[in-house]
Amino acid sequence: VLILLLFIALLVSIPVAGVSAGYLTATIAGLIVLAAIGGLVVAITRGEERAVDVARRLALRTRIIDADVVEGALQTLASQLEELAADRREMLRHLFWSAAYWLLDAAALWVFLAAFGHNTRPDGLLVAFALANIVATLPITPGGLGVMELTLAASLSGFGVPSRIALLGVAAWRLVNFWLPLPVGAGAYLSLHLGTPGQTPSEDLEGLAEQARQGADEVGPWRLPHWRGRG
């Protein structure tokens, strides 16, 4: 979806703004990534085991990414592709919400740039935004930290945004987009995994089972044999 948005933005912007070094670079980078992803999808759909085996060997030879991580990621991707191919309605739903996610994220970036005094052209912003997010998927740093910010700021500058505003806007957007949700997510994670002090997961399950039995008793006697039989 992100690559599709990149090419749509390029198709709209090139006739309007003309060909520039920024657009040419974005187009070449997008074509390379699109070819790589397309080849990966074709390889997985035609033979999952062979594709995973080849990718694992490459990972072991290059030692850039852990081979187990590569294998798990490809197996997950293959499973998701099978599910989407089996349900066209689900695939369309995924495409819709994915497009909405990226467009709203890009709109938030536009708001931050506007807050610092620059109304960025939507087509140029989408090209820079999509390109930066694609580059950030490369396994250079965890979560694309640093890579995302530098690529996005440089791309925006190439599309006419003053360098100072590009840096400030990207930094502020990234703060809200990436860093602020981390404490909230960490708190939610801890609340789910720690639970009540001194209580184990098995005790949680026993408590839920007891609540279910009590609920069955309150509903009526016809429920009792079913629950007691399973106890």
Reported confidence tier of residue 106, pLDDT bands at 50, 70, 90: very high
Give me the number of domains the chain comprises: 2
CA distance 23 to 205: 57
**191 assigned to some structural domain:** no
**The tokens of 217 are what?**
């008793």
Chain mean pLDDT for the chain: 77
Q: Which residue has the higher pLDDT, 126 or 32?
A: 126
**The tokens of 170 are what?**
């990207």
Return the percentage of the chain with pLDDT > 90, whole number: 19
Residue 151 and residue 213 in one domain: no
Asked whether the predicted pLDDT for residue 169 surpasses 50, the reply is yes
**The tokens of 219 are what?**
């509903």
Reported confidence tier of residue 79, pLDDT bands at 50, 70, 90: confident
Domain span holding position 218: 196-230
Asked whether the predicted pLDDT for residue 93 surpasses 80, the reply is yes
Quickly count: other Cβ atoms within 10 Å of residue 134's Cβ: 21
Q: Distance between alpha carbon 148 and the CA centroid of its chain, in Å?
A: 13
Residue 8 and residue 42 in one domain: yes
**190 assigned to some structural domain:** no
Lowest mean pLDDT among 23-32, 48-57, 88-97, 98-107: 23-32
Residue 55 and residue 76 in one domain: yes
